[in-house]
Amino acid sequence: MFRSLAEAAANCTRNIVTGYGPVFSDRKQLGVAAVLMRGQPDGSDVIAGASAQQPAERVPILIQAMKEEDCSARVSAVCDLARMGPSSKEAVPALIEALEDRDWVVRVASITALGEIGSEAKDSVPALIEALDKEDVCTSAAIALGRMGSAATAALERLTELRNTKTGFLRWCAEEAMRSIQQR
């Protein structure tokens, strides 16, 4: 049992971004945790207020929310950016910075958001290639690179190396990413 709604939302997000959550489209999955945290006293009410604004106006508010001390507020902001897709490209530098966040769920959600932004997040490719070497986020990084299509061509060499890994899911993610990068 969870001690708070914030803990439940963080757990929900963790399940969502690792693929162990309910089966919905990626965008809908990312939205579940963000919706759970709307209006919470931990600072995520700022994020809820941002949802009524146009995407161009929301991005700076969400970038600011990514600096909150509370993990669930940071995750909620990143999930909102992911749902906005390419229209949140202004957040790419902040999302790259979040790849070093102390909380794993924020790192994975940030990688997922970069993938949702797609080719507009091409500046994140070097950081995502580095993330391929981190056991806790490598599969998410491979998926995100695949979503960027040809903008992630620089990752092909490292993804090719990952095809020889013993981990079946990582191998599959690397192969799918390579296929997506080469097709677009």
Q: What is the mean pLDDT of residues 81-91?
A: 95
Query: Considering the entire predicted model, what is its pTM?
Result: 0.73
Beta carbons within 10 angstroms of residue 21's beta carbon: 17
Q: What is the CATH number of the domain that holds 55?
A: 1.25.10.10
pLDDT > 50? residue 3: no
Q: What is the mean pLDDT of residues 55-83?
A: 92
Query: To 10 degrees, what angle do helices 104-117 and 71-84 make?
Result: 10
Provide the residue range defining the domain that includes 119: 5-183
Angle at 150 between CA 144 and CA 151, to 5 degrees: 65
CA gap 148, 32 in Å, rounded: 23
Compute CA distances 102 → 13, 38, 94, 97, 118, whole Å. Answer: 16, 23, 14, 11, 24
pLDDT > 80? residue 95: yes
The total domain count for the chain is 1
What is the number of alpha carbons within 13 Å of residue 24 lying toward its C-beta?
A: 14
Beta carbons within 10 angstroms of residue 101's beta carbon: 18
pLDDT > 50? residue 96: yes
Looking at per-residue pLDDT, the higher value among 78 and 39 belongs to 78
